[in-house]
Amino acid sequence: MSEKAILTVGDQRIELPVMKGTDGRLSIDISQLHAQTGLTTYDPALANTALCRSAITWIDGEQGVLRYRGVPIEQFDQAPSFVEVAWTLIFGRLPTRAELDHFREQLTANELLHEGLKAQFQHIPADAPPMAILSASLSNLACFHRQFIDVEQPERLVEAAARLISKVRTIAAFSYRRSRGLPFIYPDPSLRYCANFLHMMFSLPYRQYEVSPQIEEALNLIFILHADHEQNCSTTAVRVVGSARANLFASCAAGVSALWGPLHGGANVEVIRMLERIHAGGMTPEQCIRDAKDKTSPFRLYGFGHRVYRNFDPRAQVLRRLCDKVFADLKQPDPLLDIARRLEELALADPYFVERKLYPNVDFYSGILLRGIGIPTNMFTVCFAIGRLPGWIAQWKEQHDDPHSRIIRPRQVYTGPGESDYVPIDQRS
């Protein structure tokens, strides 16, 4: 017998169906509540609301578990390529060799930017934030590839996805080159995904950047760990825009804008700023912890805490181990890593963080790692976006393929004035 939830409001007794996920978790289905009773539910920040049904990513926040299409992320430690993970997320299963080769060919075929899109970089101020450039450029792709604006042709999705995943690294690298006043380096079709990105970032004309296998492998794993995280803030932004049947480029541009915020992807930059300040003697780790606990200050311990994880973020665990490996391989210790470890130690022993179950999240170690492999700080969140793009595409596709999908349009609890008359401006006190 299917379970029901009973809601009593005044003398109304309302029976609500209960849904069960494939993981056994229950969810009260209130989708007909307003239509049948006129009632709404109040859930600020949607902290208790399942926005959709999704088969892409699974998280157990209590145990610190994350799986893509059923596969625990620790199994990706043995480094399949980021491109294989992207395909898996978007198309719902691990690809065959032929499918993966075909997708790779599509990425290579689409790695160049239209010269018109490239020209826009000349008019952007050199110190423009790369996340602003990325969001605008993804949106602008719709100007140059107008065949993808029509979202009603599903076969076009693969082509659009290949363009986005390929071009995002070209756009990202060009925005970095622009910020340094350096000439653009075109993609090299003989290089793999991550190596090609590093080449476009760091090669010079007639001086090829030599990509170390350890650095390529580390970047590959960083991208994989960021590839999807179910209904997080930027993915929800993508779904909200996509629910209006807006095209994939516009929807992903919205995702970039949401990711930019310091409470979301921008936290990886804030972590480094915090560690650099401590390193420069501007504050001690103990002071940092004190400030983070001070409710009169907006300061937070960046890279700590999570809406879903009440335990270690498994991505942070993998990145912590990767830090040890990369810095040992590079024989180049980073003093910021020692400071980060000290902060982590202090926080994990502090009742404030223990009681609230605040643990390091993905952003705590990713910045140190990106810094170690030579990525400048203003490109950290851009790297997060490159990694997250397959997840946004997968979620957009899932929503688009869902026959029950409707435009996302929440309700509100109105707290403004009742009806009041318009007063002409010269009669107002």
Using CA atoms, how far apart are residues 372 and 268, in angstroms rounded to an integer?
Answer: 14
Considering the complex, what minimum distance in angstroms separates the CB of residue 8 from ligand CMC? 29
* Three-class secondary structure of residue 213 per DSSP: helix
Give the shortest CB-47-to-ligand CMC separation in angstroms. Answer: 7
Residue labelled with tokens 């030599």? 210
By beta-carbon proximity to ligand CMC, the closer residue of 146 and 356 is 356
Catalytic residue among 306, 313, 334, 400: 306
Q: Phi and psi of 46, rounded to 5°? A: 50, 35
Considering only CA atoms, which of 325, 99, 337, 332 is closest in space to residue 218? 325
Residue 242 or 305: the one with the smaller Cβ distance to ligand CMC is 305
Element containing residue 5 per DSSP (H, E): strand 4-9
Closest to ligand CMC by CB, 232 or 251: 232
- Check 228, 313, 334, 363 and give the catalytic one: 363
Q: How far is the CB of 121 from ligand CMC (least distance, A)?
A: 27
Q: Give least dist CB 322 to ligand CMC, A.
A: 17
Minimum separation from the CB atom of position 167 to ligand CMC (A): 23
Which residues would be at the binding site for ligand CMC (CB under 6 A)?
232, 263-265, 267, 292, 300-307, 356, 358, 361-363
- Which whole-number Å values give the CA distances from 77 to 99, 209, 218, 360, in the listed order? 22, 26, 10, 19
Strands of 10-51 (E only): list them.
12-20, 26-28
Nearer to ligand CMC, 44 or 417 (CB): 44
Beta-ladder partners of 66: 59
Q: Give catalytic status of residue 363 as yes or no.
A: yes
| Residue 260: HSE in the Cβ half-sphere, 13 Å Cα cutoff | 16
Question: Shortest gap between Cβ of 304 and ligand CMC (angstroms)?
Answer: 4
Cα separations (Å) of 18 from 23, 35, 89, 337? 14, 17, 28, 47
Toward ligand CMC, which CB reaches closer, 94 or 233?
A: 233
Which residue, 16 or 346, has its beta carbon nearer to ligand CMC?
Answer: 346
Is 34 a residue of the active site?
no
- Annotate 306-351 with DSSP letters as a single string: -SS-SS--HHHHHHHHHHHHHHHHHT---HHHHHHHHHHHHHHTSH
* Catalytic annotation, residues: 306, 363
